[in-house]
Amino acid sequence: MSAVNTFKIIYTLAWRNLWRNHRRTIIMIAAVTIGVWAMVFMTALMRGMVNEMVRDGVAALPGHVQVHAPLFADDPTINNRLLESEAQLDERFAGVSTLAYATRVRVPAVVSSEYESRAITLYGIDPEQEQGLSFVTDSVVEGRFLEGPADKGVIIGAKLAADLDTELGKRIVVMSQDPDNEIADRGFRIVGVFEAQLESYEETMLFIGKTTAQKMLKIENSVTEVAFLGDNYRDIALLYSDVQTAAGEAMRVQPWYELNSYLGTMLGVMDGFVLVWVVVIFLALSFGLVNTLVMAVFERIREIGMMLALGMRPMVILGQIVVESLLLLVMGLVLGNILAWASIVPLADGIDISVVAEGMEDFGAASVLYPQLELNDLLMANVIVLVLGFVASLSPAWRASRYEPIEAITKT
């Protein structure tokens, strides 16, 4: 008998045996379906939350790779700015392939209105360079964005405006230190108010023109950082290598996951969570699966003994039980995947979790959750379920194949 014919016989027997007790089979398929739906749906929710956190974090850094002076990360003051001019930096990094590139001034500062004062991070930027790189270019909800690096206005966050009890069109004073450790201050008129996914960005970020910042801080055409944006935040190895080669040893090059170690860790934890979550769900399902197979074998002991007595090989009996298990899992997987997809697609516009927004913001998550179903997660979940299902079915299948024909036939 050919292998193909043997498989046809095993498949036919397995399919018919499944529906001998259709109620038990339907209950098991329903359990697998719900389990698969739960693992895929929850994975999509967690993946969406973490990816959104990373995207928001990268947009607020912003960029996938940044270059600073060696001591800037430990002491981000104007004295630790990059020593080369903007023109020299542009020439140095001209050969780096990147989607977006920006030089900027970033220093700690204090902003004051006529009523309140707050500590903030001052960004001196070139609006044209920031397009597609920084979230703030598309986040202005009142007024306008900066019109150029020499713009004399300021862009302020909505939460910071509320904290300072000020508004669009009013003047504020920004103070920092120049290279001589003297107070550098200047009055600005608020020309734009932005809103961000996280209120913490609105409270701590303030944007002015880069040239204006350089004049205020008396640093001529120096900057404190250079930012690069690649194709994918998950795959920046080539970009990082190119930037590092161009920067040389006199500058410190850092990828986004070093600049924000919390987000980098979260991404790694998420990848591990998917695997653990799938395994935990299946371990719960495996008890039902093994129980179903054991009961099916127990009910057919005499039948199995008769087939063995008629010459059916033990491996065929084992294969029959394993195929029954895989058929149960495949039907449950198909239905579970369809149910998960049908649950996720209507939520593409996001789930409003603003009721717990304050708590979520502590973790760096926004108030709207966007489920994200990734093909790799779906494939991994399905493969793991099938592999573990196969392993779980081996015990009852092996037991069935080891029966002695006479003992099985006479068993009551």
Last residue of a domain, one of 204, 230, 259: 259
- Is there a single domain that holds both residue 198 and residue 86? yes
- Is there a single domain that holds both residue 232 and residue 331? no
- Is there a single domain that holds both residue 39 and residue 79? no
Q: What is the rounded average pLDDT of the residues 42-46?
A: 82
CA 286 to CA 271: how far, in whole Å? 23
Last residue of a domain, one of 259, 292, 326: 259
**Residue 24, token pair as written in the block:** 């038990």
Which three-class secondary structure string do you get for 257-270? HHHCHHHHHHHHHH
Give the pLDDT confidence score for residue 61 in this predicted structure. 67
Q: Which helix (H) or strand (E) holds 203?
A: helix 199-204
Give the pLDDT confidence score for residue 347 in this predicted structure. 80
**Residue 398, token pair as written in the block:** 């092996």
CA 148 to CA 150: how far, in whole Å? 5
Q: Which residue has the higher pLDDT, 47 or 178?
A: 178
CA 123 to CA 109: how far, in whole Å? 10
Q: Tell me the backbone φ, ψ of residue 171, rounded to 5 degrees.
A: -100, 145
Give the pLDDT confidence score for residue 20 in this predicted structure. 77
Residues 6+ apart with CB under 8 A from 166: 113, 114, 115, 156, 172, 190
CA 36 to CA 278: how far, in whole Å? 8
Other C-beta atoms closer than 10 Å to the C-beta of 86 total: 19
At 81, is the pLDDT very low, low, confident or very high (cuts 50, 70, 90)? Answer: very high
CA 233 to CA 219: how far, in whole Å? 32
- Is there a single domain that holds both residue 194 and residue 269? no
165: left (phi over 0), alpha (psi -120 to 50) or beta: left
pLDDT greater than 70 at residue 2: no
Q: What is the rounded average pLDDT of the residues 169-174?
A: 95
Q: What is the rounded average pLDDT of the residues 212-222?
A: 93
Distances (CA, A) of 77 to 177, 206, 251: 8, 16, 16
pLDDT greater than 70 at residue 45: yes
pTM of the predicted model over 0.75:
no
Give the pLDDT confidence score for residue 201 in this predicted structure. 85
Q: Which amino acid is at 31?
A: A
Q: Which residue has the higher pLDDT, 70 or 48?
A: 70
Distances (CA, A) of 390 to 26, 115, 237, 291: 19, 69, 38, 14
Distances (CA, A) of 105 to 136, 148, 226, 354: 15, 14, 9, 34
- Is there a single domain that holds both residue 291 and residue 389? yes
Q: For the ranges 128-142, 198-212, 350-364, 371-385, which has the lowest average pLDDT?
A: 350-364
Q: Model confidence over 125-163: pLDDT tens digits?
A: 999 999 888 888 888 999 999 999 999 999 999 999 999
DSSP state of 236: -
Domain that holds residue 382: 3-57+264-409
pLDDT greater than 90 at residue 173: yes
- State the average pLDDT for the chain: 83
As a whole-number percent, the residues of the chain with pLDDT over 70 amount to 88
Q: Which residue has the higher pLDDT, 297 or 339?
A: 339
DSSP letter string, 238-258: HHHHHHHHHH-TTSEEEEHHH
Last residue of a domain, one of 259, 291, 320: 259
- Is there a single domain that holds both residue 164 and residue 75? yes
**Residue 240, token pair as written in the block:** 């990082």
- Is there a single domain that holds both residue 270 and residue 349? yes
Q: Determine whether 320 is exposed, middle or buried from the number of CB atoms within 10 Å of its CB (0-12, 13-18, 19+).
A: buried
Q: Which amino acid is at 122?
A: L
- Is there a single domain that holds both residue 307 and residue 372? yes
- Is there a single domain that holds both residue 19 and residue 141? no
Q: Determine whether 187 is exposed, middle or buried from the number of CB atoms within 10 Å of its CB (0-12, 13-18, 19+).
A: exposed
Max Cα distance, the chain (Å): 100
**148 in Cβ contact with 130 (< 8 Å):** no
- Is there a single domain that holds both residue 188 and residue 271? no
Give the pLDDT confidence score for residue 365 in this predicted structure. 53
Q: Model confidence over 263-312: pLDDT tens digits?
A: 777 777 777 777 777 777 777 777 776 776 677 666 666 776 777 776 77
Give the pLDDT confidence score for residue 101 in this predicted structure. 93
- Is there a single domain that holds both residue 352 and residue 279? yes
Q: Model confidence over 350-369: pLDDT tens digits?
A: 676 654 445 545 555 555 67
Helix or strand or coil: residue 46?
helix
- Is there a single domain that holds both residue 142 and residue 238? yes
pLDDT greater than 60 at residue 412: no
Burial pattern 375-399, b for ≥16 Cβ within 10 A else e, equals eebbeebbebbbebbeebbeebbeb
CA 392 to CA 291: how far, in whole Å? 10
Question: How many domains, the chain?
Answer: 2
Q: Model confidence over 223-263: pLDDT tens digits?
A: 999 999 988 888 889 999 999 999 988 899 999 888 877 77
Give the pLDDT confidence score for residue 9 in this predicted structure. 76
At 411, is the pLDDT very low, low, confident or very high (cuts 50, 70, 90)? Answer: low
DSSP state of 61: T
pLDDT greater than 60 at residue 87: yes
Q: Sign (positive/negative) of CA torsion 28, 33, 36, 39?
A: negative
At 1, is the pLDDT very low, low, confident or very high (cuts 50, 70, 90)? Answer: low
CA 79 to CA 181: how far, in whole Å? 9
pLDDT greater than 80 at residue 110: yes
CA 311 to CA 321: how far, in whole Å? 17
At 377, is the pLDDT very low, low, confident or very high (cuts 50, 70, 90)? Answer: confident
The closest alpha carbon to 206, from 112, 286, 65, 281, belongs to 112
